């Protein structure tokens, strides 16, 4: 039987009733004091919850050092855990399944976000090119990061393990490790941002080590069947990009597969701008098509999909589920609209990041 977007799918202990997934989307609407989720965030996620539908909640720093944007929710304090409970309870009340994305921004943070104004950290003292966002939300140049010391690595890995435990305490059904889009884990992965000469640099095996150690630590804490990971092999976000990504990511995916994680979430090249712009990258291969043979588990594909493309990706076996971002923002009932072929409400990019209800919880459903 050919599987479709609306064939049920086992996802560890969870059973999905459809395969239209909410991608993790930074919206910058947590409380500015303590970076805690609020009732408004709970309303937003509940609007997008469906029985047996998977929502991947927005990237959430695993420590204060991991922060790099204003008003993003964390998952490293008791108050943040309490705030996230508002969200998970609201989603579960509608029968939804919800994972949390675990995040460390690394070198693309800014000292204004760091404890005591410290320098952001990265694998090596190499600044990204371009601008980032300071604590006030103003565009500022990337700073020269401090290279993490070898003796700091165990605590970094443990911060992801503890964040995963916190997520389960907050009621999440699982977590997704953010290994994509030019943030800390991908900074270690790619040769343009990692020129270390220790066990975390140089060879492909060494550059993949941090992904694998964090994935093993998180899976050991909460179970591999509740642990997913996101990668962007052909991405260029935040001054990332490997000249020849295939050998690097083929090795990484094959090694991750040995850990038995519940899913692999891939970002396609056409989504390499991560929400800042619509980018077309012709001539790049499909990440899912290339890496599917190396991944025996559930594969979620993301990046600029429309209805027909998503239906086709699942029908031809390239992906088991498809994650939507921008159109899930502007269509809280997106799974239903895709199922019946209803028109989609356009999204409004200026309200993606920061603000209140406008562009967040005020998009209409079909019924409305």
Decide: helix, strand or coil at residue 140. strand
Q: 304: which 2 tokens?
A: 């600029």
Contact 50, 18 (CB under 8 A): yes
- What is the Cα–Cα distance from 30 to 355, expressed in whole angstroms? 10
* Catalytic choice (183, 249, 263, 353): 183
Q: Could you confirm whether 183 is annotated as catalytic?
A: yes
- What is the Cα–Cα distance from 241 to 248, expressed in whole angstroms? 11
- Burial class of residue 167, CB neighbours in 10 A (0-12, 13-18, 19+): buried
How many C-beta neighbours within 10 Å does residue 52 have? 18
In degrees and rounded to multiples of 5, residue 139 shows phi and psi of -75, 125
Torsion-angle region of 274 (φ positive above 0: left; ψ -120 to 50: alpha; else: beta): left
CA 162, distance to chain mean position in Å, is: 18
Q: 194: which 2 tokens?
A: 């990692």
350-364 burial: b if 16+ Cβ within 10 Å, else e: ebbbbeeeebbbebe
Nearest residue to 121 via CA among 145, 104, 142, 102:
145
Nearest residue to 63 via CA among 130, 7, 121:
121
- What is the Cα–Cα distance from 149 to 160, expressed in whole angstroms? 17
Catalytic residues: 183
């Amino acid at each position: 039987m050919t599987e479709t977007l609306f064939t049920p799918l086992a996802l560890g202990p969870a059973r999905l009733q459809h395969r239209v997934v909410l991608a993790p989307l930074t919206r910058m609407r947590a409380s500015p004091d303590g970076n805690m989720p609020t009732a408004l965030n709970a309303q937003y996620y509940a609007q997008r919850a469906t029985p047996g539908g998977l929502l991947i909640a927005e990237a959430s720093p695993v420590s204060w050092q991991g922060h790099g944007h204003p008003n993003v929710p964390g998952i490293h304090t008791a108050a943040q855990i309490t705030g996230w409970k508002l969200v998970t309870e609201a989603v579960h009340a509608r029968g939804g399944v919800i994972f949390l994305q675990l995040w460390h921004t690394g070198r693309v943070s800014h000292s204004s976000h760091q404890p005591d104004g410290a320098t952001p950290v990265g694998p090596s003292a190499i600044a990204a090119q371009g601008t980032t966002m300071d604590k006030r939300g103003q565009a500022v140049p990337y700073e020269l990061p401090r290279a993490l010391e070898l003796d700091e690595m165990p605590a970094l890995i443990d911060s992801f393990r503890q964040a995963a435990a916190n997520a389960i305490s907050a009621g999440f059904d699982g977590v997704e490790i953010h290994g994509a889009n030019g943030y800390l884990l991908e900074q270690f992965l790619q040769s343009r941002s990692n020129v270390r000469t220790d066990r975390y640099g140089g060879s492909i095996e060494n550059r993949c080590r941090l992904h694998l150690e964090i994935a093993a630590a998180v899976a050991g804490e909460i179970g591999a069947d509740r642990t997913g990971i996101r990668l962007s092999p052909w991405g260029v976000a935040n001054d990332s990009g490997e000249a020849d990504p295939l050998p690097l990511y083929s090795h990484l995916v094959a090694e991750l597969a040995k850990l038995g994680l519940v899913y692999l979430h891939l970002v396609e090249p056409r989504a390499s701008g991560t929400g800042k712009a619509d980018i077309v990258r012709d001539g790049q291969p499909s990440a899912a098509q290339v890496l599917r043979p190396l991944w025996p588990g559930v594969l979620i594909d993301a990046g600029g999909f429309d209805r027909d493309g998503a239906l086709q990706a699942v029908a031809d076996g390239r992906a088991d589920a498809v994650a939507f971002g921008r159109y899930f923002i502007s269509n809280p009932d997106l799974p239903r609209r895709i199922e019946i072929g209803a028109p989609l409400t356009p999204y409004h990019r200026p309200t993606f990041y920061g603000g209140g209800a406008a562009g967040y919880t005020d998009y209409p459903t079909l019924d409305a």
